[in-house]
Amino acid sequence: MKRAKKIIDNVYWVGVRDLNNRHFHGDLYPIDEGCTYNAYLVVDDEVTLFDTVEEEFTEELLERVESVLQGREIDNIVVQHTEPDHSGGFKKVYAKYPNAKVYASISGKKNMIEQYFDQVPYQVVKTNDTINTGKYDFVFVEMQMIHWPDNMLTYCPQLKTVFSNDAFGQHIVNFNLTDEGLDKAYCLKQAKEYFANIVLPYTTPVQAKLNLILGMNLDIEYIMPAHGIIWKDYIGDIIETYKGIAAQKTENKAVIVYESVWKHTQQIAESLAEGFSDAGMDVKVYKLSDTKSSIVMREIMDAKVVCIGSGTYNNVMAPSVAAFLEHIRPCKLKNKKGLAFAAYGWFNQVAKEIDTRMQQSGIESCHDVINQCYTPSDDQLEDYYNIAKEIAKKCQE
**What are the catalytic residues?**
25, 81, 83, 85, 147, 166, 194, 227
Whether the link from the prior residue into 147 is cis, omega within 30° of 0, is: yes
Amino acid identity for residue 237 in this structure: D
Helix pair angle (319-328, 350-360), 10° resolution: 20
Tell me how far apart the alpha carbons of residues 106 and 15 are, in angstroms, rounded to a whole number: 25
β-strands 16-18, 35-37 pairing:
antiparallel
The DSSP code sequence of 339-380 is EEEEEESS---HHHHHHHHHHHTTPEE-SPPEEEESSPPHHH
How many residues belong to the chain? 397
Q: Which residues of 342-367 are buried (b: 16+ CB within 10 A; e: fewer)?
A: bbbeeebebbebbbebbeebbbeebb
β-strands 337-344, 303-310 pairing:
parallel
Q: Using alpha carbons, select from 150, 176, 183 the residue that is nearest to residue 165.
A: 150
* In 226-334, beta strands by DSSP E: 251-259, 282-287, 303-310, 312-313, 316-317
